[in-house]
Amino acid sequence: MKTLVLVEHDNATLKDATLPVVTAAAKLGEVHLLVAGKGCAAVAEQATKIAGVGKVHLADDAALEHQLPENIAPLIVDLMGHHDAFLAPATTTGKNIAPRVAALLDVMQLSDIISVDGPDTFTRPIYAGNAIAQVKTSDTKLVITVRGTAFEKAASEGGSASVEAVSGASDAGSARFVSAEVAASERPELTSAKIIVSGGRGVGSGENYKALIEPLADKLGAAVGASRAAVDAGFVPNDYQVGQTGKIVAPEVYVAVGISGAIQHLAGMKDSKTIIAINKDEDAPIFQVADIGLVGDLFQIVPELTSKL
Amino acid sequence: MKILVPVKRVLDYNLKPRVKADGSGVDLANVKLSMNPFDEIAVEEAIRLKEKGVATEIVAVSIGEAKSQETLRTALAMGADRAILVTHDGVAEPLAVAKLLKAIVDEEQPGLVILGKQAIDDDSNQTGQMLAALLGWAQGTFASKVEVEGETVNVTREVDGGLETVALKLPAIVTTDLRLNEPRYASLPNIMKAKSKPLAQKTPADYGVDMTPRIETLNVSEPPKRQAGIKVGSVDELVDKLKALGVA
Ligand SMILES: Cc1cc2nc3c(=O)[nH]c(=O)nc-3n(C[C@H](O)[C@H](O)[C@H](O)COP(=O)(O)OP(=O)(O)OC[C@H]3O[C@@H](n4cnc5c(N)ncnc54)[C@H](O)[C@@H]3O)c2cc1C
Ligand SMILES: Cc1cc2nc3c(=O)[nH]c(=O)nc-3n(C[C@H](O)[C@H](O)[C@H](O)COP(=O)(O)OP(=O)(O)OC[C@H]3O[C@@H](n4cnc5c(N)ncnc54)[C@H](O)[C@@H]3O)c2cc1C
Band the pLDDT of A290: cuts 50, 70, 90. Answer: very high
Asked if A232 and B161 come within 8 Å (Cβ–Cβ), the reply is: no
Note the pLDDT of residue B247: 83
Can you say whether residue A59 is alpha, beta or left, with left for phi > 0 and alpha for psi between -120 and 50 degrees? beta
Note the pLDDT of residue A68: 98
Note the pLDDT of residue A183: 74
Contact partners, residue A170, CB within 8 Å, separation at least 6: A61, A63, A71, A74
Nearest to A174 among B137, B215, B221 (CB): B137
Note the pLDDT of residue A85: 98
The angle, 0 to 180 degrees and rounded to 10, between the axes of the packed helices B235-244 and A298-308 is 50
CB atoms under 10 Å from CB of B230, counted, come to 10
Q: What is the DSSP letter of A209?
A: I
- Chain B positions in Cβ-Cβ contact with residue A220 (cut-off 8 Å): 242, 247-248
Using the mean position of ligand 2's atoms as its centre, give its distance from the Cα of residue B57 in Å: 25
CB atoms under 10 Å from CB of B28, counted, come to 16
Q: Does residue A245 carry a pLDDT above 90?
A: no
- Which one-letter amino acid corresponds to residue A14? L
Is residue A103 within 8 Å of B134, Cβ to Cβ? yes
Go through chain B and tell me how many residues it has. Answer: 248
Asked if B138 and A139 come within 8 Å (Cβ–Cβ), the reply is: no
Q: Alpha carbon of A202 to those of A230, A279, A284, B22, B158: distances in Å? A: 8, 8, 12, 40, 24
Band the pLDDT of B174: cuts 50, 70, 90. Answer: very high
Summary mean pLDDT of chain A: 96
Q: What is the mean pLDDT of residues A107-135?
A: 95
Q: Does residue B10 carry a pLDDT above 80?
A: yes
Q: What is the DSSP letter of B197?
A: S
Q: Does residue B122 carry a pLDDT above 90?
A: no
Q: What is the mean pLDDT of residues A145-158?
A: 95
Note the pLDDT of residue B120: 86
Note the pLDDT of residue B77: 98
Asked if A92 and B162 come within 8 Å (Cβ–Cβ), the reply is: no
Contact partners, residue B38, CB within 8 Å, separation at least 6: B115, B116, B117, B118, B119, B120, B175, B176, B177, B178
Q: Name the residue of A126, A127, A145 whose CB sits within 8 Å of the most ligand 2 atoms, as the mutation to test its pocket.
A: A126
Q: Alpha carbon of B31 to those of A285, B28, B121: distances in Å? A: 22, 6, 14
B25 CA to chain A: closest CA distance, Å? 8
The rounded percent of chain A whose pLDDT value lies above 70 is 100
Give the mutation candidate from A72, A97, A108 for the B interface (greatest B CB count, under 10 A).
Answer: A108
Please tell me the least confidently modeled range out of A291-295, B84-88, B123-127.
Answer: B123-127
Is the alpha carbon torsion for B27, B205, A109, B127 positive or negative? Answer: negative
Summary mean pLDDT of chain B: 95
Q: Does residue B101 carry a pLDDT above 90?
A: yes
Q: What is the mean pLDDT of residues A247-263?
A: 95
Please tell me the least confidently modeled range out of A243-247, B119-123, B184-188.
Answer: B119-123
Distance, CA of A206 to CA of B113 (rounded, Å): 35
Q: Does residue B172 carry a pLDDT above 90?
A: yes
A282 CA to chain B: closest CA distance, Å? 10
Distance, CA of B200 to CA of A95 (rounded, Å): 33
Q: What is the mean pLDDT of residues A10-30?
A: 97
Please identify, by atom number, the ligand 2 atom nearest to the C-alpha of residue B129.
29
Distance, CA of A220 to CA of B236 (rounded, Å): 16
DSSP codes of every residue in B16-65: PP-B-TTSSSB--TTS-EEE-HHHHHHHHHHHHHHHTTS-SEEEEEEEES
Q: Which has the closest alpha carbon to A203: A137, A129, A280? A: A280
Please tell me the least confidently modeled range out of A182-186, A286-290, A293-297, B194-198.
Answer: A182-186
DSSP codes of every residue in A14-54: B-TTHHHHHHHHHTTSEEEEEEEESS-HHHHHHHHTSTTEE
Q: What is the mean pLDDT of residues B1-8?
A: 97
Q: Does residue A187 carry a pLDDT above 90?
A: no
Q: Does residue B11 carry a pLDDT above 80?
A: yes
Q: What is the pLDDT of residues A170-186, one digit of tens each?
A: 999 999 999 999 877 78
Contact partners, residue A258, CB within 8 Å, separation at least 6: A199, A200, A201, A202, A203, A204, A278, A279, A298
The rounded percent of chain B whose pLDDT value lies above 70 is 100
Q: Alpha carbon of A272 to those of A43, A193, A225, A251, B228: distances in Å? A: 30, 11, 13, 5, 13
Label the pairing between strands B138-149 and B152-159: antiparallel
